[in-house]
Chain A
Amino acid sequence: MTQRHSLRLADVCLSLSQRPLFAPLDVSIAAGEIVTVMGESGSGKSSLLNFICGTLPKDMAAAGKVLLDEQDISHLTPEQRQVGILFQDDLLFPHLSVAENLAFGLPRSIRGQQRWEQVSAALNRAGLTGLGRRDPATLSGGQRARAALMRTLLSQPRCLLLDEPFSKLDTALRERIRRFVFEHARQAALPTLLVSHDPEDAAAAGGQVVHLHPTLPQDSETI
């Protein structure tokens, strides 16, 4: 059930109080391709992802367009964009079970028994068979990271954004999870944008690497 999606950032530039954070960015990401954006903290990496998601804070201004499947999504609300994202923390909802977390991601159009079948299949794929009823807090770090990815994939995104999702994992685990995420991203043929300051991530991604250069000597912390 893969579909060829594409993501393009066309002359995107973010600015905080009229000061651009980085030089205009123009990147195209094809289906199954993983592009890495590197930059120091404060360079605007996370804000870039916020901009693509449609959750840019009000005090920041943006120029340029986000084209998803060649269509400008700038006017869409975050929930209409079908942009999947993973953060440093797994952000599994602590009040829901693992399976309920995954089901939260499923579109509403999938109903009844089908929902639980898809959730169960996703758990199997992630090596989490039988853990659906568990409290997410009782899973290991690796299990939680995989569950979080599955939740995102079940929401049928048209692209995937990764906000340093491996930086909090210990070295051994980081390697495995990275491979797991990249495999699934490629399998789903998603255009993927990885934000990181870890060169190893970029190397493992194997795709194009874009460096964000601060336009001004960095003196302020951005979100």
Chain B
Amino acid sequence: MAGALRQLTPRSPQSAPLDAFRRSLQRLDWAPGITLLLFLVPISVGLLGTWLPAFGYLPAVGREALSLEPWRQLFAYPGVSSAIRVSLLSGLLGTGVAAVSVVLFVATCHHRPIFRVIKTLLSPLLAIPHAALAIGLAFLLAPSGLGMRLLSPWATGFERPPDLALMQDPWGLALALGLAIKEAPFLLLMTLGALSQSQAEARLNAARSLGYGPFIAWLKVVLPAIYPKLRLPLYAVLAYSLSVVDMAIILGPTVPPSLAVLVFRLFSDPDLSLRLVAAAGATLQLGIVLGALLTLYALERLIALTARSWLSGGQRSAVERSAPAVAGAAVSLTTLLGYASILLLILWSFAWRWSFPNLLPETWSLRSWSNHLPDAGAAALTTLTIGAASATSAVALALACLEHEARANVRMTTAALWLLYLPLLVPQIAFLFGFQVFLSYFALDGMLLSVIWAHLLFCLPYAFLALSEPFRRLDPRFARIGACLGASPTRVFWRVKLPLLLRPMLIALAVCFAVSVAQYLPTLFAGAGRSMTLTTEAVALSAGANRRTLAVFAVLQAALPVVVFTASLAIPALLYRNRRAMRSGMSA
């Protein structure tokens, strides 16, 4: 009997340690540890390697005594206070506009037709890298940009671009707008995800049957329920917006720039003693982000406390007319600006002469593409390699951790979860210098592997965000019946769980890939400048090079993640075209 082969003889007691080891291997006990190690090492070593110089310790330049001198120099450095102001204003405004408009939009328009339209339109914007969007937006906002051309000369009388600071303005408003456009889709998607897990529809119906208007009903019964799930994305957006570098280089003011850009410049100044000042600046940036997060948290508590009486106070309607209009307009406008930016990138990449105030190029040409296909192609290949490697490893690690949870029957603690999201909350500039010193100490900087590692750091949280819910929602009886049919956990994983999770897994891959494509600082620091991706090239070119060339790089940079996203949707649809239950996502 074949069945007899599967019967195991009782094991001898001597093999117990080996047995325990095998069982631990089988349970994937290594997965959470390895994963934590992979991102805790860069962050902790990186932070330490930044804090020490910030307090005067950098033996490489002969400084070994702890002191506050770097801080003194930092605050005496020209433009630091304006730089902090620019960072705060653009970061808070960008996050605020994105968050408030998204929440108001969902609250007021969730039952209107415009909701579906915007939802469909916003998702592709999520995949567009920050730099590409910023470049397109700069083409739109500049005094010679499309915006002004649309109004000139008939409305403005301008025959030449006006001398107005419409972008790179000294307050960072253009940067704030860019951040709002880029972060709104992310927050919307996160809100929708949270909604789908909290019986929003039922709650709303209950409230509305008690006589509450749709807007106030949403605020009173849905928002409190989904906010805990929105907290992390919101914090991540805030931390990112306060410390962004690539977008700030493109859209932010130049003299002085935002704090993160200023610190980045100080790190690369040939005057070596400035390295200590830069480290202090990076630490200050960390402090600003932590301070902002704590303030937001305090604000949350305050609102939660004071809103209690309001929640049960019985008001049944509030600005039910004007709120939808304002929120709908705000979100539609950011969507429109996002798409116009991308369109402009494409136009410029095919334009030859295109002077103000013409709405379309006077002459068209394929030369920008044909001239730059070799170097842009090489950069695209590097981008693809790094993106594919980091996304695949991130998704593999996330799956291993989740599978470990399933096999060992444990759940990740809240603390571990926040730890996992650390890379999204700690500003990149605050630890990448220290990480680079660490890499360089082991002669690892400049290696492709190091760049992939640095990208992996930022992919992992997204891999978990995208996978944990579908994985845990998977009907556990599928795995159980697989085991009862004689399939080992490994076979159940590969033959049952993975195929069932194909769609979310591919989406996770695409999200991680998009995250990797967008990375600027990690590529520069870990790659020692040797890894030239579409993003580093585009940002370097944005310093003023030919718009047509810049457009070619930005179009490619934007196209890559979009193509991968499309593939991630098309593959399951194709593979499971004859599997009805697989079509609408999960059968769980």
A94 located at the interface, meaning its Cβ lies under 8 Å from any Cβ of chain B in the complex: yes
**Contact call A87/B579, Cβ cutoff below 8 A:** no
If the complex has contacts A80-B7, A155-B486, are A94 and B481 also in contact, measured as CB distance less than 8 A?
A: no
Q: Which of A151-169 contact B (CB under 8 A)?
A: 151-152, 155-158
Q: Does B209 contact A (CB under 8 A)?
A: no
B481 to chain A: closest residue by CB: A91
A57 touches B484 (CB 8 A): no
Asked if B478 is an interface residue, CB under 8 A from chain A, the answer is yes
**Contact code string A47-64 (vs B, CB < 8 Å = 1, else 0):** 000100111011000000
A182 within 8 A of B: no
Task: Pick the contact of B500: A79, A87, A89, A93 (CB < 8 A).
Answer: A93
Partner of B483 from the list A71, A79, A87, A89 (CB cut-off 8 Å) is A79
A214 part of interface (Cβ distance < 8 Å) = no
Q: Is the CB of B579 within 8 A of A85?
A: no
Q: Considering the complex, give the chain A residue whose CB is closest to the CB of B580.
A: A137
- The verdict on A105 contacting B409 (CB below 8 Å), with A55-B480, A82-B3, A135-B579 known, is no
The answer to whether B486 and A82 touch across the interface, beta carbons within 8 angstroms, is yes
**By the criterion CB–CB under 8 Å, are B6 and A95 in contact?**
no
- Interface of B: prevailing SS: helix
A155 and B579 in contact (CB under 8 A), knowing A3-B1, A80-B7, A95-B499?
Answer: no
* A84 B484 Cβ-Cβ under 8 A: yes
Shortest Cβ gap from B3 to chain A (Å): 5
A138 to B587, CA, bound (A): 14
Q: Which residues of B contact A96 (CB under 8 A)?
A: 499
Are A89 and B484 in contact (CB-based, < 8 A)? no
Residue count of chain A within 8 Å CB distance of chain B:
41
Contact A85 B481, beta carbon cutoff 8 Å: yes
Interface residue? A16 (CB, 8 A) = no
Tell me which residues across on chain A come within 8 A of B481, comparing CB atoms: 85, 87, 91
Chain B positions within 8 Å of A155 at CB level: 484-486
Bound-state CA distance A76–B6 (Å) is 10
Q: Is the CB of A58 within 8 A of B3?
A: no
B484 pairs with A85, CB closer than 8 A:
yes
A26-B7 Cα distance, complex, nearest whole Å: 24
Is the C-beta of A38 less than 8 angstroms from some C-beta in chain B?
A: no
A53 to B483, CA, bound (A): 9
Docked CA distance A58–B486 (Å): 21
* Contact indicator A109/B5 (Cβ below 8 Å): yes
Query: Given A53-B480, A55-B483, are A107 and B10 also a contact pair (CB < 8 Å)?
Result: no
Question: CB within 8 Å of A: which of B1-57?
Answer: 1-3, 5-8, 10
A91 to B481 Cα, complex, angstroms = 8
Q: Given the complex, which residues of B lie within 8 Å of A157, measured CB to CB?
A: 484
Neighbouring A residues of B499 by C-beta, 8 Å: 93, 95-96
Q: How far is the CA of A157 from the CA of B481 in the complex (A)?
A: 12
B579 CB contacts on chain A under 8 angstroms: 94-95, 135, 137
Q: Is the CB of B486 within 8 A of A95?
A: no
Q: With A95-B576, A110-B2 in contact, is A104–B485 under 8 Å at CB?
A: yes
**B8 engages A156 (CB within 8 Å):** no
Q: How far is the CB of A49 from chain B (nearest CB, A)?
A: 10
A85 to B2, CA, bound (A): 19
Does B582 touch A at the CB level, under 8 Å? yes
Let me know if A93 and B496 touch, CB within 8 A.
Answer: yes
**A58→B489 contact, CB < 8 A:** no
**In the complex, A75 Cα to B580 Cα: how many Å?**
39
- Say how far B585's CB is from chain A's closest CB, in angstroms: 11
In the complex, B465 has a CB within 8 A of chain A: no
User: Is the CB–CB distance between B480 and A80 below 8 Å?
Assistant: no
Question: Least Cβ distance of A123 to chain B in Å?
Answer: 17
The smallest beta-carbon distance between A4 and chain B, in angstroms, is 12
B486 touches A105 (CB 8 A): yes
Partner-A contacts on B (CB < 8 A) = 1-3, 5-8, 10, 409, 475, 477-478, 480-489, 495-496, 499-500, 502, 576, 578-582, 587
What are the 5 closest A-B residue pairs judged by CB atoms, nearest first? A94-B581, A78-B483, A137-B580, A95-B499, A109-B2
A-B contact pairs, 13 of them (CB 8 A): A53-B480, A55-B483, A71-B7, A75-B10, A80-B6, A82-B486, A83-B484, A87-B481, A93-B496, A96-B499, A107-B3, A109-B2, A109-B5
